[in-house]
Chains A and B, each alone.
Chain A
Amino acid sequence: MNLKYDIVIIGAGPAGLAAAVSAKKAGIDKVLIVDRESSAGGILNQCIHNGFGLHKFKEELTGPEYAERYIDLINGTDIKVLLDSCVIDIISSGNEKEVIVLSEEQGLLRISCKAVILAMGCREKNRGNIAIPGSRPAGILTAGFAQKMVNLHGYMPGREVVILGSGDIGLIMARRMSLEGSHVKAVIELQTHPGGLNRNIVQCLQDFDIPLYLSHTISEIRGDRRISSVEVSPVVDRSFPDRTRSFNLDCDTLLLSVGLIPENELSLKAGVQLDNVTRGPIVDGNLMTSVDGIFACGNVLHVHDIVDWVSEEAEYCGRAVASFVKGEIKKGREIPVRTGKMLSYTLPSKVEAGKPAVLSLRVLAPLENLYLCVRTGKDILYKKKFRKIFPSIMQRISLKEVPEDAQYLETYIEN
């Protein structure tokens, strides 16, 4: 079946939903969102804890409530949402894009459009990726998968739980599993500092007396059919387990919260270039990828920690895509954005001189007493003091205008 839309958005999570609303508001006629799940909302649907929307809505909403705000906005429009449908390819030819979809309801669909927004989110790093030595028993789950089964399907993975990784998902699941009656014995973290937000360390670990072992890793998994224990070792030199000082934790469940990877299989198929650091598409100041007419926003572009910023980024993207479709994007002079020492990346990698810009970045390691700055040549465009800054919190810098004559931008740290 052949269909025609102006914009196709891949993913009905917070990024896709916000981008759709924004594109519609900016005057785009036919907007379609495609999602492989049975309901819109993306990962938010399984995040039943609150803490979402503090910035956007000045309220503490749960994940589903936050999603509902956008779903309500969409319900008031003619934006079409196609659920239970998986995009299997994006083909570009000239100015048209063709999105190929396998839809449970409608079979194979070939949808032509003028622009595509990638909003597929992330997938979780798993045991295989990090090659934890030991056996391969049942009882090892990624934290997000466990969250889905516990919160949406009503099944508990186990009773004696160890969690590897202190990113937010691991911390949230430590609390969730405890609330559901399991015994969470420990959270093990490879780095010297926790991976997630401080409020989660307090509300998920400290409030539940769950010990956090920093600079430790799991050096072996034991168990035949089901996991029976893990060997935990302190790490030397940031990654090498020192098994002479290891200890065992008996458990029947190991949850892995060891990193998120933007899910860009489809992007690669569409010929989009990815950035090695963010693992997401390389984009310009309009969040357009290396393929004309394909844009990206949200976790698929780079991993976010706060959904409010996902919505902002997606809204920006929706407006940019609308301009693109209307033929109104006048590309100014593009200049590169450089990332200085102790910063892991800056997004986007190019901006336009003479226009406003929003930069997102993360530091490489926890730092204290510094200035976060943006300069072009000798001109300092932005300087903010930080007493403490963490890699787990994405920084966003709004520049009213990149100087007309700027040759480059550089983000950097100053003591």
Chain B
Amino acid sequence: MPKQFDILVIGAGVVGAAIARELSRYRLSIAVIEKEEDVSFGTSKANSGIIHSGFHSQPGTLKLKLEAAGNRMFDRLSYELEFPFERRGELMVAFSEDELQILHKYYQRGIQNGMTGMELLGRERTLELEPNLNPDILGSLHAPTAGVVGPYEYCFALIENAKANDVEIFLGGKVVGIRKDGAHFEVETDQGESLTGKFIINAAGLYADEIAKLAGMSDFRILPRKGEEYLLDRRVGGLVRKVIFPVPSEKSKGMLVIPTVDGPVMVGPTAVDIESKTDFSTTRTGLEAVFKNAQKMVPAIRATDIITSFVGLRPAATGGDFIIGKTKVKGFINAAGIQSPGLTASPAIAEMIRDILKDEGLKLVKKDNFRPERKGAPKIRPLVEKMDYTAIEKLIAKDRNYSRLVCRCENITEAEIVAAVRSGHTTLDGIKFSARACTGRCQGGFCTSRILDIIHRETGLPIEKISKKGKGSEILLFKK
């Protein structure tokens, strides 16, 4: 007997998660189906973590409209859901007269979109704001509404809140069949799971075209665009405060210098169209391009400061814009082609989907008991940084596990790891993204064995079954 729902959301990246959380405000039964072992394991985990300031995209596009709308929603969201978000602002910097002209164009666009506080700055003021920028810079466009966010913490927080509001999440099963049966859809996964829903929201990222095909449509293709990012040692974390953009090209926003919300500086991404949906390899040429561009803007950046790198594949769709809307199959709604500024737009995309569902006849009745707030586990790192030992003692008094340091580099305690495991993160990558362990200088050299023990203790999973990112990626192959 298949499980019955009102809404089936396919894909638990930031888009699927935002949609699920938004719809969980209403009296609806909602399921999210995710093929990976954990949420946010697709494109969303490789995100740059930038909340864009509403002027990057082309006028007249859904991208621009939703970027501007989404940007405004993050203060409230981060307050309600407790994920890291800071409105640092961005500087788009110009090295020539031609580039200065282009800054003007973006300035106008931002104003038209109602983005407040934008200003064109001369060289001196630019260097005053960011002293480590290249002194050859002629000027910049300052957009104070841009911000930095923890992309997976955001996604996890959305899902946790959705779950607290009765959304069901199905992990580890890929959708392999979609059948329309009168007014219902019947969806089958490769794990043998069967679910029905009145509506399907296609938020399947890189595979949105394949999901649409299962429902009988081939209106668009996903054209993966690879981006390599390089994370630098925390030691050089103070190089910039704001996100630094070059004047962009046709293809992409350019390679940036990003002060991540955690502290370390990140540089990239590249933007290379590729055929494969599974090519996540970093390349030497990518590294060279990223550092050449980063050093042009911030000369003190060195490739020797790299502590890790990763790759994301943007699910760009044919046509270049977001594909959000109803389709010729009644009840099947796309939220596809969500490349940049997808993260920024995600809460606005969720509201747009809600409105589309309403138009399609779905009754939206608000829940009386909707809980908008989600509390994350308290973190010890900011307390260590502030040397607030009284607060640390209070935490330890509440939970002894706060006195057990697991991740030395980032100051993460056992309490936080346990909280991550209990929220459903049982892979090393899941723990990494939610608790932030293994992200520091030693890249898990010290903490991994402890994390394996904690996961084993909390879940009963044998050590040799604990994986990096799901089946097939076990850390240790066998017991002696």
A interface residues, Cβ below 8 angstroms from B: 36, 84, 86, 88-89, 91, 100, 102-108, 110, 123-124, 126-129, 131, 133-139, 141-142, 144-145, 148-150, 153-159, 180, 219-222, 224-226, 252-253, 265, 268
Contacts and interface: CB of A to CB of B under 8 A. Distances in A.
A91 B384 CA distance: 13
The 10 A-B residue pairs with the shortest CB-CB distance in the complex, in nearest-first order: A128-B308, A225-B472, A138-B473, A225-B473, A138-B468, A155-B476, A86-B405, A126-B443, A154-B480, A123-B442
Nearest to B411: A88
B477 A123 contact: no
Contacts of B303: 131
Contact of B230 (A131, A220, A221): A131
Contact of A123 (B235, B281, B396, B445): B445
Given A137-B473, A225-B471, 11 more contacts: A88-B411, A123-B441, A126-B445, A127-B308, A129-B443, A131-B230, A136-B310, A145-B449, A155-B480, A157-B476, A253-B477
B449 A153 contact: yes
A145 B448 contact: yes
Interface string B280-320: 11111011000000000000000100111111000000000
B474 interface: yes
Contacts, number: 140
Given A108-B392, A224-B278, A138 B449 contact: no
A180 B389 CA distance: 46
B473 A156 contact: no
B448 A159 contact: no
Given A155-B478, A156-B480, A225-B471, A36 B405 contact: yes
Contact of A102 (B405, B444, B448, B475): B405
B443 A138 contact: no
B404 interface: yes
B384 A158 contact: no
For A91, A108, A157, A224, which residue has the most chain B Cβ atoms within 10 angstroms? Answer: A108
Q: Could you tell me the dominant secondary structure of chain B's interface residues?
A: mixed
A124 B445 contact: yes
Contacts of A91: 387
B479 A128 contact: no
B445 A149 contact: no
Contacts of A36: 405, 408
Interface string B23-41: 0000000000000000000
A274 to B, nearest CB: 10
A367 B445 CA distance: 34
B470 interface: yes
B262 interface: no
Contacts of B306: 128-129, 131
A123 B405 contact: no
A131 B282 contact: yes
Interface string B384-415: 10010100110011001001110011010100
Nearest to B387: A89
Contacts of B282: 131, 133-134, 136
B349 to A, nearest CB: 29
B446 interface: yes
Contacts of A221: 281
Contact of A180 (B231, B283, B480): B480
A126 B442 contact: yes
B463 interface: yes
Contacts of A100: 387, 389
A268 B393 CA distance: 24
Given A107-B396, A107-B403, A124-B442, A133 B281 contact: yes
A252 B463 CA distance: 18
26 contacts: A86-B408, A88-B384, A88-B411, A102-B392, A107-B400, A108-B389, A108-B403, A124-B442, A124-B445, A126-B443, A128-B443, A129-B306, A131-B230, A131-B306, A135-B280, A135-B311, A138-B473, A144-B445, A145-B449, A150-B480, A154-B480, A221-B281, A224-B278, A224-B472, A225-B472, A226-B472
Indicate the member of B278, B280, B469, B477 with the most A CB atoms within 10 Å: B477
Task: Name, among B303, B446, B463, B464, the residue most crowded by chain A CB atoms within 10 Å (CB to CB).
Answer: B446
A103 B396 CA distance: 10
A221 B284 CA distance: 12
A142 B445 contact: yes
A157 B479 CA distance: 9
B44 interface: no
Contact of A135 (B281, B286, B467): B281
A66 B51 CA distance: 55
Contacts of A102: 392, 403-405, 413
Contacts of B469: 138, 225
The SS class assigned to the A binding surface is mixed
B443 A127 contact: yes
A77 B477 CA distance: 43
Interface of B: 230-231, 235, 278, 280-284, 286-287, 303, 306-311, 384, 387, 389, 392-393, 396-397, 400, 403-405, 408-409, 411, 413, 441-446, 448-449, 463-464, 467-480
B471 to A, nearest CB: 7
B403 A138 contact: no
Q: Chain B CB within 10 Å — which of A105, A126, A138 has the most?
A: A138
A66 B231 CA distance: 39
A281 to B, nearest CB: 16
A150 B393 CA distance: 36
A108 B384 contact: no
Contact of B280 (A107, A108, A136, A226): A136
A11 to B, nearest CB: 12
Nearest to A131: B306
Given A107-B403, A149-B449, A131 B476 contact: no
A248 to B, nearest CB: 15
A104 B446 contact: no
Contacts of A156: 476-480
A108 B393 contact: yes
Contacts of A84: 404
Nearest to A243: B284
B475 A138 contact: yes
Contacts of A106: 403
Contacts of B287: 131, 133
Contact of B384 (A89, A103, A133, A220): A89
Given A128-B306, A131-B282, A154 B479 contact: yes
B337 to A, nearest CB: 24
A147 to B, nearest CB: 11
Nearest to B395: A108
Given A126-B443, A155-B480, A157-B476, A104 B403 contact: yes
A265 B480 contact: no
Nearest to A266: B408
Nearest to B401: A104
Nearest to B384: A88
Contact of A138 (B284, B310, B396, B467): B467
Nearest to B228: A133
Contacts of B474: 138, 226
A92 B444 CA distance: 30
A327 B53 CA distance: 61
Contacts of A126: 442-445
Nearest to A100: B389
A139 B475 CA distance: 6
Interface centre among A103, A131, A139, A142 (most CB of B within 10 A): A131
B60 to A, nearest CB: 38
Nearest to B397: A107
A157 B403 CA distance: 30
A145 B463 contact: no
Contacts of A222: 281
B283 A133 contact: yes
A136 B446 CA distance: 19
B409 A265 contact: yes
Contacts of A135: 280-281, 311
